[in-house]
Amino acid sequence: MSQLQTEKPELPSQRSTLQLFISLPILSWALYDFANTIFSSNITTIFFPFYLQEAIGDSERLNQIASTFISYANAAASFFLVLFSPLYGVLIDRTGRKKKFIVPLTLLSVACTMLMGIFAGIEFQQTFAGIPLSLALVVVLFVLAKFFYHSSLVFYDPMLPDLAEKRDLPVISGFGVAVGYIGTLVGLTVYLYVGDGDFHKAFIPTALLFLVFSLPLFFFYKEKEKPLPHPEKKSFFSGYGEILQTFKEIKQYRPVFLFMLAYFFLNDAIATAIAMMAVYARAIVGFSSGEFILLYLVSTVASIIGSFIFGFITKKAGARTAVMLVGYILLIALAAAVFAVSPGLFWIAGSLFGVSLGAMWVTSRIFIIELTPEEKRGQFFGLFAFSGKVSSIVGPLLYGTITFLLADYGNIASRTALGSLMVLVVAGLIIHARIPAENKSF
């Protein structure tokens, strides 16, 4: 098969799970997860935080200031996505097109990441608001790169229902996420080139890896033309009117709105922990750069295993139950990290966090598919991203504000900030428990 047929010419029931995984459409779709996870892990989680810490300085107080910079930069990227992600969803429902938007958004993210590497290697004499100009430019480019990266995911996730019959989607979702985290392992090979200094050297190789492994989706995913539900031409920003109408019908879609509220709190904790993991491990637990890379490798392997397992758990027990289980694992992981006084406990926390990170992505997008009508699925995926990104603003701002206000208390500031994420997880679990039990259809 050389191109994707959204009409599923061969029933998945006629194929084994392995045959599903190695089919060209599903494999090329999964490889995009492989590609964008390289960006997410290398830039968001590891090398950009390391670069900032290296550029700002190394002391207990400066570590907290670096944490504040990282938190606010992530919050800024999420703010722009909050403005646009609901409109992206409406655009999907209007046009039926997804790849058309993924390609330029990916290329923009790649370009910004490459520019991060270029400007980080230049010594400017000028400063901006007291900050070296090169550092300021890298931070701005990071915000843009992360914005374009997350924008592409709003169009990527709704591709999932086009790949197979509904009953096979949980397993395919788990496969995609697992392949994505294998991408993390490949991305970490950049560390062999970078070493324990000059972390900005990781930016350009990461951009190239992101681009190369995106190419299969660019070339092998062929969308079939669909009848347009809104054939009349409408402006991009008029999509807010359609979103408002959906909110007016909130009683009709109460379960999905409850889930998006629960996801707001759960993702708040996850997104913030991802952004702060590198600095926390080094500054609070005392990991070296090499030790953190090894921890991240172990965490990634746990994510791969967790993704596969939760694909089958979701198919067997239902998405609602699976999400609840992931929340409990996340809560245990955060508690272990907050109270870690030795590297051993943090290794346990990192492994559990890896499981919860991969599994949350597998289960949540399946739950959205299960709860939403097909004709509004793009819009709800956009609102789903909106919920996630609003939380991605609140979490880093909360974390960064705590570390800033308590900076004079040293490491206690970061432990307190991480502990605040446990409160968010508990709130998410309470709300999620109010969603009516689903009739399992997988």
pLDDT digit string (tens) for 34-76?
999 999 889 988 888 888 877 776 656 666 666 677 777 877 8
State the pLDDT at residue 61: 65
Confidence of residue 211 (pLDDT cuts 50, 70, 90): very high
State the pLDDT at residue 405: 85
Residue 18: is its pLDDT beyond 80? no
pLDDT digit string (tens) for 226-242?
655 555 566 555 556 66
Domain at 26-223+241-432, CATH from 3.30.420.10, 1.20.1250.20, 3.10.290.10, 1.20.1440.230: 1.20.1250.20
User: Any bridge partners for residue 128, and if so which?
Assistant: 131
Confidence of residue 4 (pLDDT cuts 50, 70, 90): very low
User: Any bridge partners for residue 132, and if so which?
Assistant: 127
Tell me the average pLDDT across 137-166. Answer: 87
Q: What does each C-alpha distance from 438 to 165, 217, 247, 320, 430 come to in angstroms?
A: 19, 33, 22, 7, 17
Instruction: In whole angstroms, give the CA distance from residue 90 to residue 411.
Output: 44
Q: What are phi and psi of 130, to 5 degrees?
A: 85, 0
| Proportion of the chain above pLDDT 70, given as a percent | 83
Residue 291: is its pLDDT beyond 80? yes
Cβ(182)–Cβ(38) under 8 Å?
no
Q: What are 414's two structure tokens?
A: 């970061």
Residue 23: is its pLDDT beyond 50? yes
pLDDT digit string (tens) for 398-412?
887 888 888 777 778
Confidence of residue 380 (pLDDT cuts 50, 70, 90): confident
Confidence of residue 158 (pLDDT cuts 50, 70, 90): confident
Task: Residue 54: count other Cβ atoms within 10 Å of its Cβ.
Answer: 18
Q: What does each C-alpha distance from 29 to 35, 59, 222, 377 come to in angstroms?
A: 10, 44, 11, 19
Q: What are 372's two structure tokens?
A: 């939403």
Cβ(181)–Cβ(307) under 8 Å?
yes
Higher local confidence (pLDDT), 356 or 410: 356
Contacts of 306 (CB under 8 A, 6+ apart): 354, 355, 356, 357, 358, 359
Q: Which of 124-128, 262-266, 325-329, 345-349 is least confident?
A: 124-128
State the pLDDT at residue 409: 76
Instruction: In whole angstroms, give the CA distance from residue 57 to residue 326.
Output: 37
SS3 labels along 316-340: HHCHHHHHHHHHHHHHHHHHHHHCC
Q: What is the DSSP string of 133-149?
A: HHHHHHHHHHHHHHHHH
Cβ(280)–Cβ(414) under 8 Å?
yes
pLDDT digit string (tens) for 302-344?
988 988 899 889 988 888 999 999 999 999 999 998 888 778 8
State the pLDDT at residue 2: 37
Residue 149: is its pLDDT beyond 80? yes
Q: What is the DSSP string of 392-407?
A: HHHHHHHHHHHHHHTG
N-terminal to C-terminal alpha carbon distance within the chain: 26
State the pLDDT at residue 141: 94
Residue 204: is its pLDDT beyond 70? yes
State the pLDDT at residue 60: 60
Q: What are phi and psi of 86, to 5 degrees?
A: -60, -35
Tell me the average pLDDT across 288-299. Answer: 83
Confidence of residue 6 (pLDDT cuts 50, 70, 90): very low
Residue 207, judged by CB atoms within 10 A of its CB (0-12, 13-18, 19+), counts as: buried
Contacts of 131 (CB under 8 A, 6+ apart): none
State the pLDDT at residue 9: 39
Report domain extents, the chain: 26-223+241-432
Confidence of residue 17 (pLDDT cuts 50, 70, 90): low
User: Any bridge partners for residue 127, and if so which?
Assistant: 132
Q: What are 307's two structure tokens?
A: 């993704």
State the pLDDT at residue 62: 61
Cβ(214)–Cβ(62) under 8 Å?
no
Phi/psi-derived region of residue 233, left when phi > 0, alpha when psi is between -120 and 50, beta in every other case: beta
Confidence of residue 221 (pLDDT cuts 50, 70, 90): confident
Cβ(274)–Cβ(350) under 8 Å?
no
Q: Which one-letter DSSP state was computed for residue 44?
A: I
Q: What does each C-alpha distance from 102 to 23, 170, 210 come to in angstroms?
A: 21, 23, 13
State the pLDDT at residue 333: 92
- The SS3 assignment for 98 reads coil
Contacts of 436 (CB under 8 A, 6+ apart): 255
Residue 252: is its pLDDT beyond 80? no
pLDDT digit string (tens) for 96-124?
788 889 999 999 999 999 999 999 888 76
Longest dimension (CA), the chain: 65
Residue 280: is its pLDDT beyond 70? yes
State the pLDDT at residue 335: 92
Higher local confidence (pLDDT), 9 or 286: 286
